[in-house]
C-alpha cells in the first residue's frame, strides 16, 4: 500500500467523521461554530481525499521483495543465472507474460497505484527431470512485446514438432 492510498482512506474516514458530527450537531446541539468548523473540515477532507486518489493513480505498485539474478530468453535457449537450458531439451515450458513496469492497469474503483511494477511474470519448465520455476520482472513495453513474440515463436515451433 502506498502513502497516497493510505491518505485516501484516512481522508475518507475523516470526511465520514465530520459528516457524523454535523448530523449529530443538527439533531442535538445546533451550535453554529460546530456547523461552520466541521463543514470547512469536511470540505478540506474531501479535497485531501480526491487529491490522494488522483495522485496515487499514476504510481507504480510497490515491489514486495528483492530482485536478484538474471534471465535471458531467446527462441533457442533460456539462461537463468548463467545456467543455460536449450529449448529443444526441456519439457512443459510455460511462459506467463502478464505485464511490464509502468503498464496502466484498469482499476477505476481502486485508490492506489494503477500502474504495474512489472513483476507479475513467470516461467516454468522441466529440465532433466527437475522442475524449474522463476518469477521475473519486465522493465519496458519494448521488452514485453519482444518476449511475447519469442513466446509465440516457441509455441509455434513446439506445435510443429509435436503435431
Mean pLDDT per block of 10 residues along the chain (163 residues) reads 90 96 94 96 96 89 87 91 91 92 84 88 93 94 94 74 44
How far from 37 is each of 2, 50, 120, 132, CA to CA, in Å?
30, 20, 47, 62
**Chain position carrying cell 443538527:** 26
Which candidate, 124, 121, 127, 146, places its Cα nearest to that of 83? 127
Q: Show the cell assigned to 157.
A: 515451433
pLDDT of the residue at 163: 38
Q: What is the pLDDT of residue 162?
A: 46
Nearest Cα residue to 17 out of 27, 5, 9: 9
- Taking alpha carbons only, the member of 62, 78, 58 closest to residue 70 is 78
For residue 162, what are the contacts with CB-CB under 8 A and spacing of at least 6?
A: none
Give DSSP secondary structure letters for 80-105: ETTEEEEGGG-EEEEEE----EEEE-
Model pLDDT, residue 158: 58
Question: Helix 32-57 to helix 3-24 angle, to the nearest 10 degrees?
Answer: 160
Query: What are φ and ψ of residue 34, in 5° steps?
Result: -70, -45
Lookup: cell for 158? 513446439
Q: Tell me if 31 sits within 8 A of 21, measured CB to CB.
A: no
How far apart CA 152 and CA 162 sit, in angstroms, is: 15
Q: Report which of 3, 39, 4 is spatially closest to residue 21, judged by C-alpha positions.
A: 39
Amino acid at each position: 500500500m502506498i502513502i497516497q492510498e493510505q491518505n485516501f482512506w484516512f481522508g475518507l474516514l475523516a470526511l465520514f467523521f465530520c459528516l457524523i458530527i454535523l448530523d449529530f450537531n443538527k439533531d442535538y446541539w445546533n451550535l453554529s461554530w460546530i456547523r461552520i468548523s466541521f463543514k470547512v473540515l469536511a470540505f478540506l477532507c474531501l479535497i485531501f481525499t480526491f487529491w490522494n486518489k488522483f495522485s496515487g493513480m499514476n504510481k507504480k505498485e510497490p515491489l514486495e521483495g528483492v530482485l536478484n539474478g538474471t534471465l535471458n530468453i531467446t527462441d533457442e535457449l533460456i539462461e537463468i543465472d548463467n545456467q543455460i537450458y536449450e529449448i529443444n531439451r526441456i519439457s512443459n515450458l510455460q511462459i506467463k507474460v502478464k505485464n511490464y513496469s509502468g503498464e496502466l492497469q484498469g482499476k477505476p474503483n481502486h485508490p492506489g497505484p494503477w500502474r504495474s511494477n512489472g513483476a507479475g511474470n513467470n516461467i516454468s519448465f522441466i529440465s532433466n527431470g527437475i522442475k524449474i520455476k522463476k518469477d521475473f520482472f519486465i522493465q519496458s513495453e519494448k521488452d514485453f512485446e519482444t518476449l511475447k513474440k519469442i513466446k509465440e515463436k516457441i509455441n509455434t515451433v513446439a506445435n510443429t514438432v509435436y503435431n
